[in-house]
Amino acid sequence: MHITAKVDYAVRTLVELAAAGEAPVKAEYLANAQTIPHKFLEAVLGDLRRAGMVHSRRGPDGGYWLARPATEITVADVIRAVEGPLASVRGQRPEEVHYDGPAAPLLDVWIAVRVNLRAVLEGVTVAEIACGRLPGFVERLTADPEAWRRR
């Protein structure tokens, strides 16, 4: 899976907002706190606002804040908001792809990949990242030294 800069920035932005609480946070602060280029951050915040994940207000008391509790925003939600579906094959959803002959079982592989992506990405919330308490299954997966080995 390729995690784009846009996804990385969006998740980090939401985590920063979750850690900040309910008070509006200026875009400049978010950009500096997470070392995100300001112009790029503005585009990401626009996507997150359109997806209903953040609210914004202009002016001296303005800024950005979460539109819903961080406990209700999963990493999968963020990816879908800024990039679209979690898994695609040549730009199509896996269930829309068709293979003939000996390649036919490949469809099941792509569906299995999506299921496993969902298991992790839908199982971790912005709140869990912000407070540093990831779900046990993530800790078990990353405790395996093989998880850290390049292949």
Q: Are 17 and 128 in contact (CB under 8 A)?
A: no
Ranges of residues in the chain with a pLDDT under 70 are none
SS3 64: strand
Q: Tell me, what's the pLDDT at 59?
A: 86
3-state helix, strand, coil in the chain (%, to 5): 60, 10, 35
Q: What pLDDT score does 91 carry? A: 86
Distances in Å between the alpha carbon of 136 and those of 116, 143, 149? 16, 10, 21
Tokens of 148: 């850290």
